[in-house]
């Protein structure tokens, strides 16, 4: 018996020791990786305090002891080569990584145009079929947006037609050109995430360190702290459920249904600091040759701030990696047509960064943009230009790697100015063969800029003049969001946008992306069940923006309305049930008749009974609607409540009136208006046993029982499918909305 107990005790001790015997290598170390050549390469992981770690690589045996659960070892690498093995030993644990190469490693960061995968580029299949480069490898850092998020593991991949599809296109073309020129292995660590601002890739400490950055955190914190307990989590989970449904929809359905919008909060990937703490930290401090970066689209409302914030981010990244001022190469934003942002000011901030921050370089890409598409599908030229920049600035190759850059301005007489340029290669040209260069403007002392004629006078000089400016003093080139440039050097590099003036920027003093300006609105609350949300089939006739109409979003902001309006309804049984609702034509009719700007709160619940809408009901539809209308009331005054419900209660018309009276009385009291108009609508004639007829007869008496109330008829409105369907057709929904508008006009705007 004692032997049995003794054996059991030893077994339990062994299990306990194993439980505490943890050992791991950082996820970024896998088979097929590339280690930086001629460097002290960091290898790191986790382990049990006090245990010994031994790292073996090409005759080196480096040892260390785990402290505070962490360990780090420096390996010395030599010239490019491979394949090698990297072994890491901790007691009885041994991990062996195979097919390891030594070469140059670059980290590719930024937003969507850097994330843009090779499978999406123009002629993708042709490129992918030839992408057989076994010594080019990439590691795609998992898209982890918050610390607690569970993400699948990944590994380094050798570039082949089978693996190249997910290679970031610009990074792929960059790596291919470097590899072909230098004949060394190239590793790319991919961390970009579409739609991100530069502040998403910085630390909280950095943002709090500067008065021009601090508002970014203060604004985010104000949103994150405004949620009631559990509210953000509910919104976020609803968003993910809707997104999953949306992704299952057919392409035809997606034409009419907008992609769900993610609420801002602690799990939103766009929040400041977030990706610095998750994705970037997963790659740091993997030893690098340098960084390549393509970002800025999401910061184009704040170009002035970017002048400081972008260099600050570069400095922080370099400090985190601890490799000194390693190369940081980036792409200047291309052209894109927009009236709400200032891409020209962001480009200038990028250019100034290239001048002022040590060991940086900028590839001009103005001509590579698509004026109508923020994601151009041609990426090879931008990747090639980045590679040429690296070859010239980083690797010391004697090659032309950039285009004409403004150097000096002087007066040339006859009302013209002479511009001198550097980096002209073998000479400047009009790429399209035109007699003059496009994109130039000049201004006199009044600061008003006019289009200018720009003529090449030598391999490095251009003369500019304008008949509208007799005595020009300043010049701007491509100081616009979008244009068609033809100013290049003979080596094919475009001239860099510039200006000689120092007039105040439009984005000066803007520290947070400005919210759309929302005017004072007339508010209407639409509540009820599925006919209020809409079930009529959406077609191109019913999908458009609606002038002067705004919708309350799930996060409490107002956004310009589009049809289907029930994008912002809270029904959401199924996204594919979205259809045309009465709010669409209601809004059009009211705005056309009154000229007023409207704010709509659509809060319908398909299949709901009036019992669920009563104050204090377990479903709390009442509380939800009241909360949303209170959010909306900061944008204007609540004019009326539109109520369309009853299909679920049509068998009991006698009990309905008392419940409706209580619902209306509570709503009026809670919004602080005892005379608030309430408009109800008859339900469809859809039951063979005639319950809808009796129910509608009862509804017609609502104005007799509830002061300041109105009833809208459903006569002659037809069902969506047949008489067994309780939902109105799209055309009937439009008519119903107009009838609501007529009642609302009488209640809210007429002089009666």
Radius of gyration of the chain (CA): 32
Q: What is the mean pLDDT of residues 447-464?
A: 97
602 close to 534: Cβ distance less than 8 angstroms: no
The crossing angle, in degrees rounded to 10, of helices 582-594 and 730-748 is 40
The answer, yes or no, to whether residue 423 has pLDDT greater than 90, is yes
CATH architecture of the domain formed by 521-750: 3-Layer(aba) Sandwich (3.40)
Comparing 36-50, 92-106, 223-237, 329-343, the range with the smallest average pLDDT is 223-237
**DSSP annotation string for 492-513:** SPBPPPEES--PPPTTTT--SP
Residue length of the chain: 752
Q: What is the mean pLDDT of residues 505-524?
A: 92
The answer, yes or no, to whether residue 433 has pLDDT greater than 50, is yes
Q: Which two structure tokens, joined as six digits, stand for 433? A: 């063969």
306 close to 198: Cβ distance less than 8 angstroms: yes
Q: Which two structure tokens, joined as six digits, stand for 706? A: 């509830």
pLDDT for residue 243: 87
| Spatial distance between the Cα atoms of 664 and 675, rounded to a whole number of angstroms | 10
| Spatial distance between the Cα atoms of 43 and 100, rounded to a whole number of angstroms | 13
The answer, yes or no, to whether residue 518 has pLDDT greater than 70, is yes
pLDDT for residue 590: 95
Q: Which two structure tokens, joined as six digits, stand for 429? A: 């040209």
304 close to 507: Cβ distance less than 8 angstroms: yes
The answer, yes or no, to whether residue 308 has pLDDT greater than 70, is yes
Residue ranges of alpha helices (H) inside 261-379 are 274-275, 281-283, 303-321, 343-356
**Nearest 10 degrees: CA dihedral of 313, 314, 315, 316?**
50
Average pLDDT of the residues of the chain: 92
Cβ count within 10 A of residue 668: 19
Q: What is the mean pLDDT of residues 240-254?
A: 86
Residue located via tokens 């946008």: 497
Cβ count within 10 A of residue 38: 13
Q: Which two structure tokens, joined as six digits, stand for 317? A: 């990244």
Q: Which two structure tokens, joined as six digits, stand for 2? A: 């004692």
691-718 pLDDT, tens digit each: 788 899 999 999 999 999 999 998 888 7
| Spatial distance between the Cα atoms of 728 and 177, rounded to a whole number of angstroms | 61
pLDDT for residue 567: 59
Q: Where are the domains of the chain?
A: 405-495, 521-750
User: Percent of the chain, pLDDT > 90?
Assistant: 76
pLDDT for residue 752: 60
Q: Assign 279 to helix, strand or coil.
A: helix
pLDDT for residue 716: 85
Of the pLDDT bands very low, low, confident and very high (cuts 50, 70, 90), residue 728 is confident
Of the pLDDT bands very low, low, confident and very high (cuts 50, 70, 90), residue 618 is very high
pLDDT for residue 124: 97
User: Percent of the chain, pLDDT > 70?
Assistant: 95
- Residue 677, Cβ density class (10 Å: 0-12 exposed, 13-18 middle, ≥19 buried): buried
172 close to 160: Cβ distance less than 8 angstroms: no
pLDDT for residue 46: 96
135-168 pLDDT, tens digit each: 999 999 999 999 999 999 999 999 999 999 999 9
Distances (CA, A) of 637 to 600, 644, 700: 11, 21, 28
Residues 6+ apart with CB under 8 A from 575: 242, 245, 246, 249, 257
pLDDT for residue 584: 83
pLDDT for residue 539: 78
466 close to 432: Cβ distance less than 8 angstroms: no
602 close to 529: Cβ distance less than 8 angstroms: no
| Spatial distance between the Cα atoms of 585 and 736, rounded to a whole number of angstroms | 8
Comparing 205-219, 454-468, 505-519, the range with the smallest average pLDDT is 505-519
pLDDT for residue 606: 83
Of the pLDDT bands very low, low, confident and very high (cuts 50, 70, 90), residue 358 is very high
The answer, yes or no, to whether residue 8 has pLDDT greater than 80, is no
Of the pLDDT bands very low, low, confident and very high (cuts 50, 70, 90), residue 5 is very low
Give phi and psi for 425, each to the nearest 5: 60, -130
| Spatial distance between the Cα atoms of 89 and 95, rounded to a whole number of angstroms | 6
357 close to 324: Cβ distance less than 8 angstroms: no
The answer, yes or no, to whether residue 14 has pLDDT greater than 60, is no
| Spatial distance between the Cα atoms of 324 and 315, rounded to a whole number of angstroms | 9
Q: What is the pTM of this model?
A: 0.89
- Residue 1, Cβ density class (10 Å: 0-12 exposed, 13-18 middle, ≥19 buried): exposed
Q: Assign 733 to helix, strand or coil.
A: helix
Q: Which residue has the higher pLDDT, 84 or 646?
A: 84
pLDDT for residue 12: 39
* CA dihedral over 198, 204, 209, 211, signed as positive or negative: positive
């Amino acid at each position: 018996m004692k032997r049995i107990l003794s054996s059991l005790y030893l077994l339990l001790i062994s299990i306990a020791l194993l439980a505490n015997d943890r050992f791991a290598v950082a996820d970024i170390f896998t088979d097929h990786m590339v280690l930086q050549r001629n460097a002290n390469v960091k290898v790191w992981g986790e382990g049990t305090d006090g245990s010994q770690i031994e790292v073996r690589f090409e005759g080196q045996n480096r040892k260390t002891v785990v402290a505070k659960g962490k360990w780090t070892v420096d390996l010395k690498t030599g010239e490019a080569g491979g394949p090698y093995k990297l072994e890491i030993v901790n007691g009885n644990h041994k991990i062996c990584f195979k097919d390891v190469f030594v070469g140059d490693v670059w980290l590719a960061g930024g937003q969507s145009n850097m994330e843009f995968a090779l499978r999406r580029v123009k002629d993708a299949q042709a490129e992918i079929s030839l992408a057989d480069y076994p010594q080019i490898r990439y590691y795609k850092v998992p898209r982890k947006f918050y610390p607690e998020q569970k993400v699948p593991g990944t590994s380094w991949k050798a570039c082949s037609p089978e693996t190249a599809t997910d290679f970031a296109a610009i990074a792929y073309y960059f790596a291919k050109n470097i590899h072909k020129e230098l004949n060394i292995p190239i590793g790319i660590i991919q961390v970009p995430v579409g739609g991100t601002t530069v502040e998403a890739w910085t630390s909280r400490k950095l943002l709090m360190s500067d008065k021009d950055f601090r508002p970014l955190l203060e604004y985010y914190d104000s949103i994150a702290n405004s949620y009631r307990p559990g509210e953000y989590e509910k919104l976020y989970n609803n968003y993910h459920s809707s997104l999953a449904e949306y992704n299952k929809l057919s392409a035809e359905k997606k034409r009419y249904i907008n992609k769900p919008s993610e609420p801002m909060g602690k799990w939103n990937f766009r929040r400041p600091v977030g990706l610095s703490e998750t994705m970037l930290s997963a790659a740091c401090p993997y030893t690098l040759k340098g960084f390549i970066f393509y970002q800025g689209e999401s910061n184009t409302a704040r170009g002035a701030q970017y002048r400081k914030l972008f260099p600050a981010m570069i400095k922080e990244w370099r400090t985190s990696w601890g490799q000194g001022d390693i190369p940081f190469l980036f792409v200047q934003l291309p052209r894109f047509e927009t009236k709400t942002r200032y891409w020209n000011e962001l480009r200038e901030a990028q250019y100034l960064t290239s001048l002022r921050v040590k060991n940086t370089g900028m590839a001009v890409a103005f001509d590579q943009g698509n004026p109508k598409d923020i994601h151009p599908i041609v990426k090879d030229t931008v990747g090639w230009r980045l590679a040429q920049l690296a070859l010239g600035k980083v690797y010391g190759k004697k090659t032309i790697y950039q285009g004409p850059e403004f150097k000096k301005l002087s007066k040339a007489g006859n009302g013209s100015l002479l511009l001198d340029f550097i980096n002209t290669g073998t000479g400047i040209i009009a790429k399209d063969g035109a007699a003059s260069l496009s994109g130039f403007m000049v201004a006199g002392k009044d600061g008003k800029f006019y289009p200018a004629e720009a003529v090449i006078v030598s391999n490095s000089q251009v003369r500019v003049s304008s008949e509208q400016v007799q005595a020009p003093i300043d010049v701007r080139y491509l100081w616009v969001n979008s244009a068609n440039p033809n100013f290049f050097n003979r080596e094919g590099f475009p001239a860099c946008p510039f200006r000689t003036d120092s007039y105040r920027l439009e984005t000066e003093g803007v520290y947070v992306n400005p919210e759309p300006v929302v005017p004072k609105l007339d508010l209407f609350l639409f509540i009820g069940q599925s006919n209020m949300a809409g079930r009529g089939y959406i077609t191109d006739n019913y999908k458009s923006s609606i002038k002067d109409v705004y919708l309350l979003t799930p996060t409490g902001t107002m956004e310009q309305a589009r049809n289907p309006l029930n994008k912002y309804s809270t029904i959401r049984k199924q996204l594919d049930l979205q259809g045309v609702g009465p709010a669409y034509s209601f809004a059009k009719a009211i705005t056309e008749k009154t000229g007023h700007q409207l704010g709509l709160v659509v809060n319908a619940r398909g299949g709901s009974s009036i019992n669920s809408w009563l104050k204090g009901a377990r479903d709390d539809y009442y509380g939800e609607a009241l909360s949303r209308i209170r959010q909306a009331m900061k944008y204007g005054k609540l004019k009326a409540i539109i109520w369309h419900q009853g299909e679920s209660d049509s068998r009991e018309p006698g009990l309905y009136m008392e419940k409706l009276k209580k619902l209306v009385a509570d709503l009026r009291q809670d919004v602080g208006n005892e005379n608030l108009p309430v408009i109800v609508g008859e339900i469809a004639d859809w039951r063979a046993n005639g319950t809808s007829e009796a129910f509608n007869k009862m509804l017609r008496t609502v104005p007799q029982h509830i002061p300041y109330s109105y009833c809208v008829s459903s006569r002659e409105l037809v069902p969506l499918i047949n008489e067994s369907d309780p939902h109105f057709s799209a055309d009937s929904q439009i008519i119903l909305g107009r009838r609501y508008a007529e009642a609302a006009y009488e209640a809210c705007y007429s002089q009666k």
